[in-house]
Amino acid sequence: MERILVVEDDSFFRQMYADLLREDGYEVETVNSGTRALELLAGNEYQLVITELVIPGMGGIELLKRVKQQTPTVDVILVTGHANVESAVLALKSGARDYLLKPFNHDEFKHTVALCFEQRRLINENCELKGLLNLFQVGQNIANCIDMDRLSSVVFDALTNEVGAGRAIGLFREKDDLLSLREFKGFDEDTAQSLAEAVQKNFSTDWNAGPVARKFKASFLGGNFDTMELSDGLLLVIRSKTNVQGIVVIFNNPGRQLPVAYEENRIVFLLEQSTLAFDNASRYSSARDMLYIDELTGLFNYRYLDISLDREIKRADRFGSTVSMIFIDLDFFKAVNDTHGHLVGSQVLNEVGMLLKKSVREVDIVIRYGGDEFTVMLVETGERGAATVAERIRRSIEDHRFLAAEGFDIRLTASLGYACYPADTQSKLELLELADKAMYKGKEEGKNCVFRATAIR
């Protein structure tokens, strides 16, 4: 019988969780602190720990880390009433199998627990006892990697090491939703790319159906690969419910035939763990993106400014290009809130965000800096281009009737300041300061105008 340890300091929820779990046939023990939980884990065998984010003695995240250090085979589900993205991301990064945000219904709670045990049962069904611990640890390394940029490398290494082959290529889904060559070993890059194209040409219609691991004769790929002693291949498909996340193709070593020493059920297990990892990485990526999105306007928020500006300045330095920064402050916006209320004011800010996005290119970055202040980062744009865009923005705000569709006739103007890199400064921090000062200079000069940083020196 599966054993679950519940860590919850609230007696009502502690009893509720225990009753729900016992209804489904689980053996349950409950404690009210992280310290007591670790004591029980040291002397008893549990398959799952369910813990609150905030518990006496130590935080839920700290308990999660201690559990994974002390008994890495135990799964952890973290429950939190603090419905924020940061806690969910931190839970996944620290090794949680899943997390639940309160409030949740009983069915959701039971389903999450059942899914956890179903994933554990896959290990028992698909792996032989011999070498299981090592395989489980490799699977955990895959499942715990939620950085999409690293995950393809982790999965590729795990699969090729399991098979024991020295030649392989890995195609993984990029942000443009296309599979492309990301990993290779035993080939130079040109050869790996040629093999990737041959694989896509001959196998693409089979990826969404059929077995996830299949052997094939290398001659099936066609092409001029005779000199490389390719005789056999093993096609491994990382497939979720909705699409194919990646393809790893392992080839025979020169002078040898596949199969190399590998067990298919172990490969299938690693592919299943890889699928779970890509799902978790996708969730983490979405959660991370939410950290940089302004909820009101859907624009990027101030957190994204430093990251994106640092990236674009490095790009400008590398390619000898330019970056311009525009600061925008709405004139007399307080009067909108005072006259029409904050709800209308929020709708106006949202409409300003849409105007800004229409006024710039897709590659440019629009950020709600806070309150009624916005910034626009113009990539590969110098002084003349920045002046043109800033004036276009100023005019579009001045000419627009805000919330006209809702029966309002709200008029606004804006003061804008801009600075250019590297023409005005070679410092990222000073670029922001100069644009900000130029904007406030416009405020002082009567508002509804555009100022460049050089005009205030």
256 with 226: CB under 8 angstroms?
Answer: no
Domain end, chosen from 122, 148, 183, is at 122
Block residue for tokens 């049962």: 121
* Predicted local confidence at residue 124, as pLDDT: 61
Q: Is residue 82 over pLDDT 70?
A: no
- Of the candidates 94, 257, 48, 289, which has an alpha carbon nearest to the alpha carbon of residue 163? 257
Q: Is 323 found in the same domain as 452?
A: yes
Q: Is residue 256 over pLDDT 90?
A: no
In a domain, 295, yes or no: no
* Predicted local confidence at residue 125, as pLDDT: 65
* Predicted local confidence at residue 360, as pLDDT: 95
Confidence of residue 401 (pLDDT cuts 50, 70, 90): very high
In a domain, 182, yes or no: yes
Give the angle subtended at the CA of 365 by the CAs of 393 and 302, to the nearest 5°: 100
Size (the chain), residues: 457
Domain end, chosen from 254, 281, 308, is at 281
**Higher pLDDT, residue 310 or 231:** 310
For 252-256, the CB contacts below 8 A with 24+ separation are 252/165, 252/167, 252/218, 253/165, 253/166, 253/167, 253/186, 254/228, 254/229, 255/229
* Predicted local confidence at residue 143, as pLDDT: 79
* Predicted local confidence at residue 364, as pLDDT: 94
Q: Is 90 found in the same domain as 31?
A: yes
* Predicted local confidence at residue 178, as pLDDT: 81
* Predicted local confidence at residue 91, as pLDDT: 78
Distance (Å, rounded) from C-alpha 126 to C-alpha 122? 6
In a domain, 209, yes or no: yes
How much of the chain, in percent, has pLDDT values that exceed 70?
Answer: 91
Q: Is 156 found in the same domain as 52?
A: no
Mean pLDDT of 294-303: 87
Q: Is residue 85 over pLDDT 90?
A: no
Mean pLDDT for all residues in the chain: 86
In a domain, 286, yes or no: no
In a domain, 267, yes or no: yes
Using one digit for the tens of pLDDT, what is the confidence trace for 146-194? Answer: 777 788 889 999 898 888 878 999 999 876 578 889 899 989 898 899 8
Q: Is 319 found in the same domain as 440?
A: yes
Domain end, chosen from 71, 97, 122, is at 122
Q: Is 265 found in the same domain as 137?
A: yes
Structural domain that includes position 59 = 3-122
Q: Is 269 found in the same domain as 186?
A: yes
Cis amide prior to 254 (ω within 30 degrees): no
CATH value at residue 385: 3.30.70.270
Of 288-297, 330-339, 398-407, where does mean pLDDT reach its minimum? 288-297
Q: Is residue 355 over pLDDT 70?
A: yes
Q: Is 452 found in the same domain as 305?
A: yes
* Predicted local confidence at residue 267, as pLDDT: 86
In a domain, 289, yes or no: no
Q: Is 234 found in the same domain as 137?
A: yes
306 is catalytic: no
Sign of CA dihedral 144, 149, 151, 157: negative
* Cα within 13 Å of Cα(320), Cβ side: 0
Mean pLDDT of 72-84: 79
Q: Is 153 found in the same domain as 257?
A: yes
* Predicted local confidence at residue 110, as pLDDT: 92
In a domain, 400, yes or no: yes
Using one digit for the tens of pLDDT, what is the confidence trace for 94-139? Answer: 888 888 888 888 999 999 999 888 887 776 665 455 566 677 777 7
Read off the pTM: 0.47
Q: Is 250 found in the same domain as 144?
A: yes
Distance (Å, rounded) from C-alpha 375 to C-alpha 305? 9
* Predicted local confidence at residue 87, as pLDDT: 72
CATH value at residue 217: 3.30.450.40
Domain count, the chain: 3
Give the angle subtended at the CA of 268 by the CAs of 255 and 65, to the nearest 5°: 115
CATH value at residue 75: 3.40.50.2300
* Predicted local confidence at residue 130, as pLDDT: 52
* Predicted local confidence at residue 227, as pLDDT: 65
Which residue in 364, 372, 424, 436 is the catalytic one? Answer: 372
Of 83-97, 106-120, 436-450, where does mean pLDDT reach its minimum? 83-97
179 with 172: CB under 8 angstroms?
Answer: yes
In a domain, 304, yes or no: yes
Q: Is residue 337 over pLDDT 60?
A: yes
* Predicted local confidence at residue 330, as pLDDT: 96
**Higher pLDDT, residue 94 or 285:** 94
Mean pLDDT of 36-41: 90
Q: Is 268 found in the same domain as 166?
A: yes
Q: Is 211 found in the same domain as 71?
A: no
